[in-house]
Amino acid sequence: MSWYRTKFRCAHRRGLLYALGHDCWAAIEAFTGEPRDHDDIDVALWRRDVPALVRAFEGRYHVWAAGGGLTPLSADRLEVPEGADQVWIRTHALAPWVADCVLNRDRAGRWVSRRDPEFDAPLEQVTWEREGIRYLKPEIALSFKAKLNRPKDSRDLAVSLPLLDDTARAFLADYLARRDPDHPWRSLV
């Protein structure tokens, strides 16, 4: 069972987060067209935009930095602790969480991979867009999923792989060769 009271649809999150006037992006299912159950839909945004998110949600939502513990953020406390890579959102301190936002660092405005910090690229090169919603490219999402290699991640690979072009496959193959040469996905990619 999900730890969320309600599961926000991606379009709802788009309205909620794009209202800030900042970039945000989601992950893999939109690419494959193959729905599966999700505990949540992670939406990513720039770490540098968290103060704007906190200010925009003030009075409507509570925003908490997550990573090794929970730290409430407010207009008086805008700085995300160093170890926090997510913010969780809820309507009040005792309410269930309604959104989970992954925080992405940037290097001179370029997207930086949390799994491979040496890799950075313009946001437009690591995402694609449909109907006003920006999504992480599947090869990038799969590079994140490879670390955990859960059954749902292997399913996402199986569904995505036939749809990947040569460039996307080459990216994923190179990532796996550099980061985990013995990974079971290497023989599939």
What HEC string does 113-154 produce? CCCCCCCEECHHHHEEEECCEEEECHHHHHHHHHHHCCHHHH
* pLDDT score, position 42: 72
Residues of the chain with pLDDT under 70: 1-41
* pLDDT score, position 142: 94
Q: Residue holding tokens 């399913």? A: 155
> Considering the entire predicted model, what is its pTM?
0.78
* pLDDT score, position 187: 95
Q: What are the boundaries of each domain within the chain?
A: 1-136, 138-189
* pLDDT score, position 5: 42
Instruction: Extract the tokens encoding 131.
Output: 């109907």
Which class in CATH covers the domain with range 1-136? alpha beta
